[in-house]
Amino acid sequence: MTLVDNFLEKLPLERFRNPPPQVAVLRLEGLIGMRGPRALSLRRFAAALERAFALRNLKTVALAINSPGGSPAQSSLLFRRIRQLAQEKDVPVVAFVEDVAASGGYWLALAADEIFAVDTSLVGSIGVITASFGFAEALRKLGVQRRLYTAGEDKSLLDPFLAEDPRGVERLSALQNDMHEVFKDLVRARRGVRLKVEENTVFSGEVFTGRRALELGLIDGIGDLRGLMRQRHGDTVRLRAVEPERRRLLLPRFGLPRRPDIGDVAADLLARLEERLIWARFGL
């Protein structure tokens, strides 16, 4: 036997002929649309989604979701890209809710063919919320005048430094109602006959435990990612984490760490504060 024959004999050829089934795991965590290196947005996840659906011997793409919501636009963009790839590659998508899939987080879960959670997950919050502050009284006491100039009577919407305008509130409510209808239409299209109660119950903006969400038809079962994937694809299944690439902070010429920009640092701190406040709504 030659050295080549001996080498070939020792190769695990069976593994190449019959590779183990693979499940791509995408972790969708945090506030949707948040800026910075931890952003949950299509721009940051587009390449990772492509890689996930391109794995060899791919059986399922699993979405591990832990998000309190955020930007409706980014929620919709991520949803659309996931559905496009799922249809192009003919691969099932399964979502697994961890702590929270609320508002935009549930929007992302709807990109899956099936949704699972644990009993104590928080699911739903199918609604639209806008938060702001009013500083008009503070400015008045400080003797500061707010001067705002616009071309177009509807250019300004509820400026926080001016007194609340009933007409502005009406315009904002119209925008929120329109977005809410889009959200409700998506839930109807994706969950369909699986919804088991009157729509008013699930479209009120209320958040439900995983156990209650199952009763309502918002999810398909109680279970965890590893357990369900092993049950469906066998003990040899490989769970392959697919993550977005991290932004490199090196100077191209000298290979030295780039000094952080003070604006980037401030923006990241504000984004973290905003995210912390939103998580706090769910006691997390």
pLDDT above 50 (res 250): no
Select, from the ranges 135-139, 176-180, 231-235, 266-270, the one with the highest average predicted confidence (pLDDT). Answer: 231-235
Does the structure show a pLDDT above 60 at 1? Answer: no
* DSSP H or E stretch at residue 67: strand 58-67
Which tens digits make up the pLDDT trace of 159-201? 666 666 777 677 767 787 888 889 989 999 999 899 988 888 8
pLDDT at 159: 64
- What pLDDT was estimated at residue 267? 58
Mean pLDDT value of segment 230-239: 94
- Per-residue CA distances from 194 to 91, 115, 155, 197, 267 (Å): 21, 11, 42, 9, 41
The answer to whether 250 and 258 have CB atoms below 8 angstroms apart is yes
**What is the mean pLDDT of the segment spanning 108-128?**
93
Residue 72 · residue 31 · CB < 8 Å = no
Residue 263 pLDDT > 80, yes or no? no
94 pLDDT higher than 80: yes
Question: Is residue 25 scored above 80 in pLDDT?
Answer: yes
- pLDDT value of position 240: 95
Instruction: Give the pLDDT confidence score for residue 245 in this predicted structure.
Output: 80
The angle, 0 to 180 degrees and rounded to 10, between the axes of the packed helices 42-52 and 72-89 is 20
pLDDT at 12: 55
Q: 7-11, 78-82, 113-117, 236-240: lowest mean pLDDT where?
A: 7-11
Q: Are 133 and 211 in contact (CB under 8 A)?
A: no
Contact 37, 268 (CB under 8 A): yes
256 has a pLDDT exceeding 70: no
**How much is the pLDDT for 277?**
67
- The encoded tokens of residue 160 equal 């926080």
Instruction: For 202-258, give the DSSP string.
Output: HSSS-EEEHHHHHHHTSSSEE--HHHHHHHHH-TT-EEEE--PPPPP-B-TTT-PBP
DSSP 193: G
SS3 call for 185: helix
**Domain boundaries, given as residue ranges, for the chain:** 20-125+206-280, 128-186
Q: What is the mean pLDDT of residues 112-129?
A: 91
pLDDT in tens, 192-228: 899 988 888 888 888 999 999 999 999 999 999 999 9
Dihedral angle, C-alpha 9, 10, 14, 16, nearest 10 °:
-100
Question: Contact 209/129 with Cβ under 8 angstroms?
Answer: no
Average confidence (pLDDT) over 101-130: 92
Q: Are 101 and 109 in contact (CB under 8 A)?
A: yes
* Helices and strands in the chain: count of H runs, count of E runs: 11, 8
Q: Where are the alpha helices (DSSP H) in 1-112?
A: 3-10, 13-17, 42-52, 72-89, 104-109
- CB–CB of 98/121 below 8 Å? yes
Residues with Cβ within 8 Å of residue 217, at least 6 apart in sequence: 191, 194, 195, 196, 197, 202
Nearest residue to 70 (alpha-carbon basis) of 266, 278, 219: 278
pLDDT-derived band at 254, boundaries 50, 70, 90: very low
- Residue 46, pLDDT > 50, answer yes
Q: For the structural domain made of 20-125+206-280, what CATH number should be given? A: 3.90.226.10
| Mean predicted confidence (pLDDT) in 150-156 | 66
Q: Which of 68, 77, 72, 76 is nearest to 30 (CA)?
A: 68
End-to-end CA distance of the chain: 65
Summarised one tens digit per residue, pLDDT across range 48-81 is 999 999 999 999 999 999 999 888 999 999 999 9
Among the listed ranges 69-83, 120-134, 254-268, which one has the minimum average pLDDT value? 254-268
What pLDDT, on a 0 to 100 scale, did the predictor assign at position 249?
45
- For residues 21 and 59, is the Cβ–Cβ distance under 8 A? yes
Q: What is the mean pLDDT of the chain?
A: 81
